[in-house]
Amino acid sequence: MKTVTARAHTNIALIKYWGKKDPDLILPYTSSVSLTLADFYTDTTVSFDPTLKADQFHLDGIAKPAGKVSQFLDLVRHRADIPTYARIESHNHVPTAAGLASSAAAFAALALAGSRAAGLDLSPSALSRLARRGSGSASRSIFGDLAIWHRGHDDASSVAEALPPTTLPLRMLVVMVDTSRKAIGSRALMANTVATSPYYPAWVTTNENAVQAMVEALAANDFAQVGHLTEQSSMQMHATILAADPAFTYWQPETLTAWAIVKQLRAQGIPAYATMDAGPNVKILTLSPYVEQIKAALAPTFGERLLTTGPGPAARVLTEVPNA
């Protein structure tokens, strides 16, 4: 047995995932496409220890209930055929209160560190499938830069892979509208959207077509189309959520303010496109030459509440030490 520390970066979906066909295996209704981000990541250390009577989990140095972490490690234990409990320590490296602390990075790092610590040597594809069982979006954080999660139809076929690298100098600005804890978790809201939104079936069809269009736009280095598809997928997801029963939105007034600035910038010829996830913060997809102009346009309203990042690397092992 080894003590293994792994790092995985968060990702932001350009074409969104929203809704599970199989909540246990986490098989999604749609495929999705994401950009892994350089500056936001989770480091997780796992060590299996035969003397432990239960898993012990610390997040940023504070003891936490091991619930979801233990359930996930049960998959690893089953696969490695070991009964042993583990010590798990995670550190989120996200700028203070950025509202980006992500289950994607968390479960991708746990999948890599946990499987290696248990003596398994899984391929990126097998890691992606494993990470998916913790959180759907974690399947994509195994890979760097651009990734596609194929929705598939069973545990083996619902897996992410890296997309061919693009020469586009992609950048993402994060507008921190509100970084307090979200009112409704994405897992519960996803389930309610599937169950009650009359627009859900239309969203699945439209979003699945957008996945293919996005792959083609990226291959063609067509940033106007990449950005357009990104903004459309997000707005269509939020419209579908808004139409659920009870009606709901993650947006706040400043979410619309930021989106309006993005649209003004586009009207001036600056390629900037907005995407929002399970919260009110706005991420702006652009190209590196335009970052300063976009920051200048946002600064009067959002001041210091802005972060800029770019494509980040795949999940990787940082250290691996045999246990004494």
Query: 80 or 285: whose CB is closer to ligand 2P0?
Result: 285
In the bound complex, what is the minimum distance in angstroms from residue 12's beta carbon to ligand 2P0?
Answer: 7
Q: Applying CB under 6 A, does 312 fall inside the site for ligand 2P0?
A: no
Show contacts with ligand 2P0 in window 171-200 (CB under 6 A). 186-187, 190
Residue found under tokens 């069982």 = 133
In the bound complex, what is the minimum distance in angstroms from residue 47's beta carbon to ligand 2P0?
Answer: 25
Residue ranges of alpha helices (H) inside the chain are 67-80, 103-117, 124-134, 138-141, 186-196, 200-219, 223-242, 253-267, 291-302
Q: Applying CB under 6 A, does 16 fall inside the site for ligand 2P0?
A: yes
Q: Applying CB under 6 A, does 278 fall inside the site for ligand 2P0?
A: yes
Binding to ligand 2P0 by CB under 6 A, coded x per residue (else -) over 207-246, reads ----------------------------------------
The single-letter code of the amino acid at 249 is: T
Residues 6+ apart with CB under 8 A from 3: 45, 46, 47, 117, 319, 320, 321, 323
CB 274 within 8 A of CB 282: yes
What letter would DSSP give residue 179? -
Binding to ligand 2P0 by CB under 6 A, coded x per residue (else -) over 17-56, reads xx-------x-----x------------------------
Show contacts with ligand 2P0 in window 109-138 (CB under 6 A). 135-137
What is the spatial distance between Cα 69 and Cα 28, in angstroms, rounded to a whole number? 21
Provide the angle, in degrees to the nearest 10, between the axes of the packed helices 223-242 and 186-196. 80
Q: Applying CB under 6 A, does 103 fall inside the site for ligand 2P0?
A: yes
What letter would DSSP give residue 164? P
In the bound complex, what is the minimum distance in angstroms from residue 23's beta carbon to ligand 2P0?
Answer: 8
In the bound complex, what is the minimum distance in angstroms from residue 18's beta carbon to ligand 2P0?
Answer: 6
- Residues paired with residue 13 on neighbouring β-strands, in sequence order: 34
The residue ranges that bind ligand 2P0 (CB under 6 A) are 13, 16-18, 26, 32, 103-104, 135-137, 186-187, 190, 277-278
